[in-house]
Homo-oligomer: A and B are copies of this chain.
Amino acid sequence: MLAAMQDHPPPRETNPELDKLVTEIIGRVADKWTMLVLEILTENERLRFTRIAEQLEGISQKMLTKTLRQMERDGLLQRTVYPVVPPHVEYQLTELGLSLSAAFCGVWMWAEKNRGELLRARAQFDATPAAGVPQPRVAV
C-alpha cells in the first residue's frame, strides 16, 4: 500500500498567480473550525446556530459567527432566516460545501489512521536529551 503511494501525482501548479490564488483558498478553507463545521453539517444537513455551537464545544460565539459568515461568503453554505420571534436561523451546506467536505475526507481518514504513528514520533522527538535541540540524523 505504501508502495502504491510513492507514485502519487501531485497536482502541480506552475503558474505563479494561480498557485498564489489556490494557496490563498487553501489557507482560508483549511481552518480548524471551518473543517469541523463542514463535518457537522455533512452529518446533519440542516442545523440552527445554537445546535452547531453545541457540537463545537470550545468555540466562542464570536468565532462561530465569523466562521459561518466566511463559509457563506465563499459559497460553502447557505443561511436561511425565518422571520419569527424568537429568531430562527438555519444553516446547510451547498453543493460546493459538500464537495469540499468530500475532498477533506481523505485528510480525516489520514488523521484517524495515522494518529498513533504521529504521537509516537512526537514522543520520540520530545525524548531527546537536549530539549529544544533535537538530534537530527547526521550524515557524512
List residues of chain A with CB under 8 Å of any chain B CB.
Answer: 1-2, 5-6, 8-13, 18, 21-23, 25-27, 29-32, 35-36, 39, 42-43, 54-57, 69, 72-75, 78-83, 89, 95-96, 98-112, 114-115, 117-118, 120-122, 125-126, 134, 136-140
Contact = CB atoms under 8 A, between A and B. Distances in A.
Given A72-B134, A115-B21, A10 B101 contact: yes
A25 to B, nearest CB: 5
Q: For the complex of A and B, list the 10 residue pairs with the smallest distance between their C-beta atoms, beginning with the closest.
A: A75-B121, A103-B110, A79-B136, A30-B30, A103-B106, A27-B32, A8-B102, A73-B125, A25-B111, A1-B57
Contacts of A136: 72, 78-81, 89
Contact of A112 (B22, B43, B112): B22
